[in-house]
Amino acid sequence: MEIELEAPAKAWNIMPKSMKPMVNEAKFTISKECMEVNFVDPAHVSMGHLKFYPAFFNRYVVGQSKEKYEVGIDIDVFEDKLKGIKPHEKITMKTLEGESIIFLNTEIKASSGDIKLNKQMKMIDCAGMPDPKIPNLDLPFKFEPDIPITELKRMHKNILISDHTKWTVDEKCLTIVGADDETRDKVIIPVTHCKKKEPNKKAKTKKELKKATSLFSDDYGEMILKIAELGGKSGRVKIELGNDNPMVLTFAKKDFWDSNKTLYEGMLLLAPRIESE
């Protein structure tokens, strides 16, 4: 046995729901600390990073022969395997040393004994898979919109007019504008926990940055906001923004009974749309 992870079907479904908008296959890295995955869409406009901690699972067993295990998963096939299994029914994912098969086992309680449902899928060879690295962006504004992610997603959808929106943040609010040749809509959202990067002391001009603005694709903007909802519809997100820089959006799902315990967390990056002169 290399790995053995057990969780309800509704928990396993979080993975295809969060990744399918961008990719249809991915390399998962599994260690004693967590299961994590990086992924990037084919156009390289958006990137994602997900990390699932042992607390997310009912059972989390990782072999000791390696420090980390790599498991290549076809997301479409994995989603198909989850169909027909009720949300509360537990699924055990298991891999065996030397085999390229992923076993998905479910035991369903019945009056005369347990029903055992066993499914298998072939593991993708990780050798030929991309290994995207999440860049470390030190953007000038870090803040939290003072509304739940569902409301941020709804407000964003309300101003979609053209094929992009303009996001501007200062120390007090986030302003998102949608416009075309005839109309212009905008939403102003208060922000909290705003941290502004201090001017570089070595720079010749130490001009303080009062706001930051970037343009983003509507379709990709909607996509990452929908993915971020997986952190909980009443949850809040953290955003980093700069001038003509990628947007960084992070979210985390906490344990209902212990808010100090994180079940899983995600980071999403969206490249800016640069207007030509």
The pLDDT value given to residue 179: 87
Beta strands in 180-255 (DSSP E): 184-196, 212-217, 238-241, 247-254
Residue 206 is predicted with a pLDDT of 57
Q: Return the amino acid letter for 10.
A: K
Mean pLDDT in consecutive groups of 10 residues from the start of the chain, 277 residues: 90 93 93 95 93 96 90 94 93 88 88 88 87 86 95 94 92 93 92 82 63 93 92 90 94 87 94 68
Give the pLDDT confidence score for residue 275 in this predicted structure: 58
Q: Which domains does the chain have, with CATH numbers?
A: 3-128 (3.70.10.10), 141-270 (3.10.150.10)
Using only C-alpha atoms, the chain has a radius of gyration, in whole angstroms, of 21
CA dist list (Å): 247 to 114, 143, 214: 49, 12, 8
- The pLDDT of residue 231 is 87
Going by C-alpha positions, the residue among 81, 32, 239 that lies closest to residue 153 is 239
- The residue whose two tokens read 């992923």 is 102
Cβ(142)–Cβ(194) under 8 Å?
yes
Model-wide pTM > 0.85: yes
Which stretches of the chain are DSSP H helices? 9-12, 14-19, 75-82, 149-158, 218-228
Residue type, 183: T
pLDDT of residue 276: 47
